[in-house]
Amino acid sequence: HERDNPFTAGERIAMIKGALDNDSVDGARWMAIPIADADSHSVWVSTVKSMVPRFDVAFTNDSLTFRLFEEEGLEVRAVPYLKREEYSATNVRMGILERRGWETLVPSDVAKMVKEFGGVERVRELLKKDLPGE
């Protein structure tokens, strides 16, 4: 568990599934595949391509990832943000840390899972040095 990534890949996939199920998104229309960092930009795209089914478009808002896929001749599209200033992982983590309204920033099923995973305590432990006086 890390400060900026307090949840495991499995926990994140479960939360994504919960959010999409909550919105009645057909599970046959998407898949989440955890891919470990290649630690080398030169092999990142080939690593991804070897781990996932064939795809026509890569979606990312990360400028480096965008460039790497584009350099390999793949179509790349940015994903439009929805109220990015409000709905961000940083805001959720800080809301958990400061004990203020983070549950309103995620679907109810996700808030329930965060609690079931012990995520509230985990985030507070990882971020406690960010509290004033710590």
Three state DSSP letters for 46-109: HHHHHHCCCCCEEECCCHHHHHHHHHCCCEEECCCCCCCCCCCHHHHHHHHHCCCCHHHHCCHH
Position 11 scores a pLDDT of 96
Q: How far is CA 32 from CA 20, 84, 97, 118, in A?
A: 12, 22, 28, 22
pLDDT tens for the chain, 134 residues long, are 888 889 999 999 999 999 999 889 998 888 899 998 888 999 999 999 999 999 999 999 999 999 999 999 999 999 998 888 888 999 999 999 999 999 999 999 999 999 999 999 999 999 987 766 65
Domain ranges of the chain: 9-33+43-130
Position 6 scores a pLDDT of 94
Position 134 scores a pLDDT of 53
Q: 9-33+43-130, what's its fold?
A: Rossmann fold (3.40.50)
* pTM check: above 0.75: yes
Position 37 scores a pLDDT of 85
